[in-house]
Amino acid sequence: MDDQVVIQQIQKRMLISIGQVARKLGIKEGDYVRVEIGEDGASLRIVPIAWHPKEQEYFWSEEWQSRVKRSLKDLEEGRVEAHETVESLIEELENATNRKNR
């Protein structure tokens, strides 16, 4: 439990540097945290949060969002195909791969 204790001096304007804690929690500048005050009024809990679940972080990356926008534009402009069965979709994908590899 000792590795979870950090003693920090209160600085001007009641600031506390949490560099050591941040490294242990894997948070960096710009990240959001929720600070919870314990029922005892004497303890704090720092919880890293995001505006989306961490496991979906890839979706919010610049690259992924660019792909989503491109896909939405393709839909809007009618560059889509419908398939009656999964098999016909797989066949189309295989044909496209074969054409690309030629």
pLDDT band (50, 70, 90) for residue 3: low
pLDDT at residue 1 above 70? Answer: no
Give pLDDT tens digits for 6-18. Answer: 777 778 888 778 8
Domains by residue range for the chain, with CATH:
2-49 (2.10.260.10), 54-101 (no CATH)
Question: Average pLDDT of 34-56?
Answer: 83
Burial of 46 (0-12, 13-18, 19+ CB in 10 A): middle
Average pLDDT for the chain? 85
Distance from C-alpha of 20 to C-alpha of 1, rounded to nearest angstrom: 15
Give pLDDT tens digits for 47-92. Answer: 888 777 778 888 888 899 999 999 999 999 999 989 999 999 999 9
Per DSSP, 46 falls in state E
10 phi, psi to nearest 5 deg? -70, 130
Per DSSP, 56 falls in state G
> Which of these, 41, 43, 44, 60, lies nearest to 52 by C-alpha position?
60
> Which of these, 62, 63, 31, 61, lies nearest to 47 by C-alpha position?
31
